[in-house]
């Protein structure tokens, strides 16, 4: 069995039996892993258009979209500096893995969860590392070995600008939202608590919309600002959506006539207007130009599958239907020229990437697959993860994912090694997916 799977099982067992809490304070940043030794990338290389991925052994790598210039950030190549700067090799640690690498907006840093399991005791920390050297430090140490979701020690989300890092963590007081201001050695600030908890940074990182239970609030500044409550918001959606220009907020409301998608101006949260009728559960995201919203909804609260996916103008004009085939997730390309979504084929328990121009015409089927467990988590909560983990390349011409080929892809593209692998999909050219090698989770840099 892969090391990540073994450690996840061990961690789950520790949590189920009430594993011992870490002895140090949760707000006690400390020195993290040592720098990583030489990699195949040239020193000083401009780290743009990169893919971060987690190997089956739970180590972090970055790589170019063509599979070249791989950089190993964690693992057996670690060294520590001994007396007078002499390098001292460290043994490979087989009881430790990293999860959920998350790119900063400028592509210079990666934050990730680190899980260590020793003698029935789990330690969970949040690490921030240099995206080229692997130099890292601990931003946060959990007091208890709890997960926020199956396979997710934290949810990590860098601010769109600047160095602020937000994250969700399981604490003795419940699910907590914290923000670290980027200062090494400084403890993160507690922003909110409650469950479920979803949120969205404003484009300039000066404010934050938070959906906790059925309560929707907006605060400026994001950490420490007095929250303004948005009246009428329901529990029938997860992540709120601030428009790309920062002027409007989209959310769902339950009314006597049924559920609706509403937009309210940030400068007057009481002046909301209805955009369209939606099902009892919905997910939505703004197009990058702010003129439209992609909206998926459903009537069955027990199913993660959306009944339909539509594009609707923000001014309330007629909607365009993209799919009624059972949609699990959808993602706008960075420019908004295209939108990609994942359709579910329940009969053979496979999924398929589909992409369409932003106008909603000429949909193209790309790749049938079975996602890795981590990618399935990302897809299941895609409306939140779309803010922090992008499957799209910065130029909007490719998608990245982790999983295994489905039956249709195997028939058209030949056999493939077993186990989860990293695939890059070209949405315009060669339909054959590019196999970058084994991996359980992959996300693209923002730049």
In the predicted model, is pLDDT for residue 359 greater than 90?
A: no
Mean pLDDT of 246-275: 92
Supply φ then ψ for residue 307, to 5 degrees: -70, -30
* pLDDT reported for residue 411: 56
Q: What is the chain's mean pLDDT, rounded?
A: 84
C-alpha Rg value of the chain to the nearest Å: 22
Least confident of 209-213, 255-259, 316-320, 336-340: 255-259
Least confident of 90-94, 219-223, 406-410: 90-94
* pLDDT reported for residue 150: 84
Counting residues of the chain whose pLDDT is more than 90, the rounded percentage is: 68
Contacts of residues 61-70 at CB distance under 8 Å and 24 or more positions apart, as own/partner, are 61/439, 62/110, 62/131, 63/436, 65/393, 65/398, 65/400, 65/424, 65/434, 66/434, 67/434, 67/436, 67/437, 69/40, 69/41, 69/42, 69/45, 70/39, 70/40, 70/41
Tokens 């009246």 belong to 231
Mean pLDDT of 295-305: 87
Query: How many angstroms separate the CA atoms of 252 and 276, rounded?
Result: 10
**Distances, alpha carbon 329 to alpha carbons 130, 209, 378, 412, in Å:** 30, 21, 9, 24
pLDDT in tens, 174-186: 999 999 999 988 9
Q: Note whether 111 and 138 are within 8 A (CB).
A: no
Query: How many angstroms separate the CA atoms of 326 and 406, rounded?
Result: 17
E strand spans, 42-119: 51-54, 60-63, 71-72, 79-81, 87-89, 96-103, 109-118
pTM of the model: 0.86
**Distances, alpha carbon 384 to alpha carbons 39, 92, 183, 288, 390, in Å:** 33, 34, 25, 16, 11
């Amino acid at each position: 069995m892969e090391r990540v799977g073994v450690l996840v099982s061990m961690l789950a067992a520790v949590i189920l039996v009430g594993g011992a809490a870490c002895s140090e304070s949760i707000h006690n940043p400390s020195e993290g892993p040592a720098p990583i030794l030489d990699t195949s990338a040239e020193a000083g290389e401009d780290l743009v258009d990169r893919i971060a991925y987690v190997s089956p052994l739970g180590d972090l790598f970055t790589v170019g979209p063509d599979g070249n210039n791989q950089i190993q950030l964690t693992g057996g190549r670690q060294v520590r500096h001994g007396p007078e700067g002499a390098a001292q090799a460290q043994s490979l640690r087989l009881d430790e893995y990293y999860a959920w690498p998350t790119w900063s907006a400028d592509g210079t840093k990666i934050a990730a969860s680190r899980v260590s399991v020793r003698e029935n005791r789990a330690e969970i920390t949040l690490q921030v590392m240099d995206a080229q050297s692997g130099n890292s430090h601990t931003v946060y140490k959990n007091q208890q070995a709890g997960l926020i979701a199956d396979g997710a020690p934290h949810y990590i989300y860098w601010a769109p600008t600047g160095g602020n890092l937000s994250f969700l963590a399981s604490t003795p007081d419940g699910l907590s939202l914290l923000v670290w201001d980027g200062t090494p050695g400084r403890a993160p600030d507690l922003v909110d608590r409650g469950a479920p908890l979803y949120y969205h940074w404003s484009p300039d990182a000066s404010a934050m919309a938070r959906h906790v239970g059925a309560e929707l609030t907006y605060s400026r500044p994001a950490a420490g600002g007095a929250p303004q409550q948005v009246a009428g918001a329901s529990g029938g959606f997860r992540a709120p959506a601030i428009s790309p220009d920062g002027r409007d907020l989209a959310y769902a409301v339950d009314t006597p006539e049924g559920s609706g998608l509403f937009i309210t101006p940030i400068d007057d949260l009481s002046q909301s207007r209805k955009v369209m009728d939606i099902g009892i559960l919905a997910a939505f995201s703004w197009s990058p130009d702010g003129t439209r919203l992609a909206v998926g909804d459903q009537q069955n609260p027990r199913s993660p599958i959306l009944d339909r996916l539509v594009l609707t103008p923000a001014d309330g004009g007629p909607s365009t239907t993209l799919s009624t085939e059972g949609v699990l997730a959808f993602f706008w390309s960075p420019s908004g020229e295209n939108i990609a979504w994942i359709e579910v084929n329940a009969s053979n328990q496979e999924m398929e990437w589909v992409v369409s121009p932003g106008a909603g015409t000429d949909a193209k089927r790309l790749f049938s697959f079975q996602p890795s467990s981590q990618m399935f988590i990302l897809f299941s909560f895609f409306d939140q993860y779309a803010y922090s983990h992008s499957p799209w390349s910065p130029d909007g011409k490719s998608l990245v994912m982790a999983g295994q080929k489905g039956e249709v892809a195997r028939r058209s593209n030949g056999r493939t090694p077993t186990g989860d692998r990293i695939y890059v999909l070209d949405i315009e050219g060669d339909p054959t997916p590019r196999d970058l090698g084994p991996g359980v989770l992959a996300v693209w840099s923002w730049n």
